[in-house]
Amino acid sequence: MNAMHPQAAHASPAGWPMDIFAALKAAHVRQVTYVPDGGHAQLIRAVHDDAGMVAIPLTTEEEGVALVSGAWLGGDRACLLMQSSGVGNCVNMLSLVRNMGGPFLTFVTMRGEYGEFNPWQVPMGTGTPDAFRLMGVHVMRADTPDAVGPTAAAAARMAYEGGNAVAVLLGQQLIGAKVFVK
C-alpha cells in the first residue's frame, strides 16, 4: 500500500494544488501535460474536471516539453507537471525551449529529499535544479503551503508575460515523503 504523509496545513481550504490550479486559470493556461504522479494527483483531477482546460497524459516527460512549446506556437498556453525523476529525461528537449525563445512553465514534485526512502530518487532529486539551470530554465521553489500560490503566480507571470522558461520545484517536505507499508 502506498501512503503519502503531508507535513503541514495547506494555504487554501482546498490545499496547495488548488493554488497552482488558480494560478494556471488566472494565466489563461489551456493545456496541461503530465506524467501521472501522486504529488500532482489533485491538480490533475482539477484540470480533467475543467471544461476550459485540456489534460494531456504523457508516456515520458520530454513529450511535455515539446507539447508546451507547440501549444505556444499554436497560440495556446500550456504547462508541464512532472516529478524530479523525469527531469533528466527532458535535458535534450529543453534545447527546443532555449532556441525557440518562447515561454515554458513546469511544476516539479521533488523526490530524493526530505525523508526519501528510495536511494534511486536521490541523484536526480539533487541534480534537478542544476539540470534546469544548465538548460537556461529559471528555477523557483516552494517548500511550504503558503508559498505555493504566490510562487505559482510569479512563475506564470515570468513565463507568459516575460517569455521565460521557468520551473517551480515543489519540495518533498511540502508534498510529503512516500512510505510503503505492508
Please say whether the beta carbons of 104 and 33 come within 8 A. Answer: no
| Segments in 135-171 forming alpha helices (H) | 145-156
> Which pLDDT score is estimated for 179?
75
- Signed CA dihedral, 114, 57, 129, 20: sign only: negative
Q: What is the pTM of this model?
A: 0.91
Q: Which amino acid belongs to residue 53?
A: M
pLDDT string in tens for the chain (182-residue length): 334 433 333 345 459 999 999 999 999 999 999 999 999 999 999 999 999 999 999 999 999 999 999 999 999 999 999 999 999 999 999 999 999 989 999 999 999 998 888 899 999 999 999 999 999 999 999 999 999 999 999 999 999 999 999 999 999 999 887 776 76
Give me the residues paired with residue 112 across strands.
Answer: none
Q: At what angle do helices 41-49 and 16-26 cross, to 10 degrees?
A: 40
Across the beta sheet with 78-83, the strand order is 54-57, 31-34, 78-83, 104-109, 165-170, 138-142
> Which pLDDT score is estimated for 178?
75
Contacts of 13 (CB under 8 A, 6+ apart): none
Domains in the chain, CATH or no CATH each: 2-180 (3.40.50.970)
> Which pLDDT score is estimated for 92?
95
